[in-house]
Structure 1
C-alpha cells in the first residue's frame, strides 16, 4: 500500500475506485465498504483509493471539545487498511479551509482533478463539504458531468445493532472490550513504549511493564483489570506474543497520583524497557478498587491472575 500525507502528493490514476471517510477504528461496517471497493476494483481492473483525514474533523471544527478520543491512531488506521489490501491511502490534512469547500468544489477539485475518480463507494449517510451539505444526491447529480459512478453501501448491522465508531468508543469507555472487539472485527489495542515505573508491581510479586502511549488523542479503556494478549515488536514481521493481565488506573491503594497503564506479562522475564509493545484487550475482569492493605491487594491480584488465566485458556 502506498501512503500519501497530502492529496497533492497523489498522482492521479486512470481508474481510481475511491472511498472517503474518517474510518476511525476501521470497524466491521468500514470493512464492508472496503470489501465492496475491492470487488468493484477487480471488476473494473482499477486501483483502490482510500481518502481519509488527519486530524479528525471534530478536532478542528470543535477544538473546545477536549474529550474527543479516537479508537485508532493514524498509524494504526494505516496498518489496518494495509492488512485489508488497499492500494493507495491518502491522508490529507483536515483544515478550516478544507472544511469550507462546497460540495461541488469538493467533487471537482478533490475527487476528479486530484484523484481521477472513476467510481466512488460511500457508506450510509456519508456527508462532505461545507457544513456537511454534500451527500449521495450531490454525487449522483454531478456523476455524469464528471464521468464517475457512485454507489452507497446500506447501513451495516451486527446482531441487529448498527455498527458505528461512536458505539465502539462508548463500549471501550465502559470497559466492554468484548463488544468493541465484536464490532471492530479485531482486538482493540494500545501501542506504546515501555517506560520505567516505580516497580511497585515487582514488590507485590506482579512485575509490570508500564506503557506510554504517545498519542494523546488515543482512546483509553476505563480503569480496571483486563485479560490481554501482549505483542512484542508489533511493527516487525515476526512477532512474539504472551498472555497477561493489564491494569489501568491511579493505584488508589498506594495513593497513586498518576494514571497508569501497566501489564503483567505471564511467564515472562526479559528486560523490555524502551521497547514498543502492543496490548490487545480481550476481556474486562473488574474495576479499579482501593484495598485496606497491601496484603489485601496482593491477595486480590493473585485471584485476578487465576481468573485471567482461565479466560485465556
Structure 2
C-alpha cells in the first residue's frame, strides 16, 4: 500500500450504520451531528470527523454524519456537469474508517430545499434525530435559500437545548483544504497535491470489461475499467503509477487514462496494465489507487514507438513503486 495513510482512531470501530433517508433513522439515544457533502473525505473532513467522534464519546451519545444526494448543485442549479471525488459507495467505504456511528444519506430535492431553517432544526435535528450537539463550519448556511447562518443556529440551540461547536475560520485556514482544490488538482494532473490533501491516494472504483485487446498485441495486456457513475471525476488524461485491489488482494501496475490516439482516437478509457498478473478478471469489481503521474498522453507514429514508450513507463513505474510498498 501507499505510505499515504488514512487517519483512523486507535479504538475499536463498530460497523457503520447507513440510512438512505432521515425518516428511516430511529434512535432514542442523544446524538452529536455534523452536516455536509464531505466529498473526498479529505484531511479537513477527517478533522471534523475526529471532533465528532470525540464529542459523541464525551456526551455518551451516538455520532451522525448527515449528507445529501444528489449534490444540492445538481438540484438547485441544474448543474449536471458537476464532477465529484466520490461515488456514494466510495463515500460509504471511506466514512466507515473513521468510527462514525451513523451515516444518513438523505435524498436532496426541491421540497427538502424549501424547508425553513426552523423547520429543519425543529422537525429534523430535534424531533427526528434527537440532537444534543452539532459540529459545523463557521460559514455554514442552511434553510430555504440558505439564509440562516451560524448565529441563527446558535440561537436555535439555546431554544431547543443543543450545543453548537463551530469549526473556526482559523482552523479551516490552517488546513487550507477544499474539495474544489482537490478537483482542480486532479483535472490538472497534479496527483501529488490531490493525494496530500486527501490523506490517501485518489481512487477509482469500477468493473472490468472487455476492451479492444490491442494491449495484448504489444505484450502489455490491460484491464479496462468501466466507471458506472457519470458524476465521478476522472483525472487528466495521461499515464499513472497505480495499485489495484482485486478480490481483497493488491497489485501494482500502470494506468492510462485517455482516448488511445495512436490506435484510433475514440472515447475516453481507463486501462490498467497489472504487473506480474495473468488472470481473467472480467466482471470483477476493482479499486484503482492513483499513486503518481508519469506523463501526458501522446500520439505516437507507430505501434512500435508506443510499445517502446510502454517499456520505458514500466521501468519507471517499477523503480518508483518501492516507496509505496
Q: TM-score range by the shorter chain?
A: over 0.9
Gaps of 5+ in 1: 234-238
- Report the Cα offset of residue 135 of structure 1: 2.3
Gaps of 5+ in 2: 1-15
Q: Does 1:291 align with 2:300?
A: yes
RMSD value, Cα: 1.3
CA distance in 1, matches of 2:149, 2:275: 50
* SS of equivalent to 2:115: coil
Of residues 80, 83, 89, the one that matches 1:69 is 83
- Report the Cα offset of residue 157 of structure 1: 5.5
- How many residue pairs get aligned? The number is 306
* SS of equivalent to 1:52: strand
Q: Retained in 2: the 8 A contact 1:33–1:123?
A: no
Distance 1:205 1:214, change over 3 A: same
Q: Which residue of 1 aligns with 2:190?
A: 176
In the TM superposition, what whole-angstrom CA distance separates every residue of 1:176-221 from its partner, at most 9, and x where no partner exists? 1111111111111001110000101111111000000001110001
Q: Retained in 1: the 8 A contact 2:138–2:150?
A: no
Q: Retained in 2: the 8 A contact 1:70–1:219?
A: yes
Task: Give the structure-1-normalised TM-score.
Answer: 0.95
Q: Does 1:242 align with 2:251?
A: yes
Distance 1:228 1:86, change over 3 A: same
CA distance in 2, matches of 1:271, 1:21: 40
Q: Which residue of 2 aligns with 1:236?
A: none
Structure 1 segments, 4+ long, off by >6 Å, are none
* SS of equivalent to 1:206: coil
* SS of equivalent to 1:285: strand
- Report the Cα offset of residue 264 of structure 1: 0.3
CA distance in 1, matches of 2:51, 2:230: 33
In the TM superposition, what whole-angstrom CA distance separates every residue of 1:213-232 from its partner, at most 9, and x where no partner exists? 00111000110000101111
Q: Does 1:7 align with 2:22?
A: yes
* SS of equivalent to 2:262: helix
CA distance in 1, matches of 2:179, 2:315: 33
* SS of equivalent to 1:263: strand
Q: Retained in 1: the 8 A contact 2:207–2:227?
A: yes
Q: Residues 253-292 of structure 1 correspond to what in structure 2 (within 5 A)?
A: 253-292=262-301
Of residues 206, 216, 221, the one that matches 2:235 is 221
- Report the Cα offset of residue 161 of structure 1: 6.0
- Report the Cα offset of residue 103 of structure 1: 1.2
Task: Give the structure-2-normalised TM-score.
Answer: 0.91
Q: Which residue of 1 aligns with 2:97?
A: 83
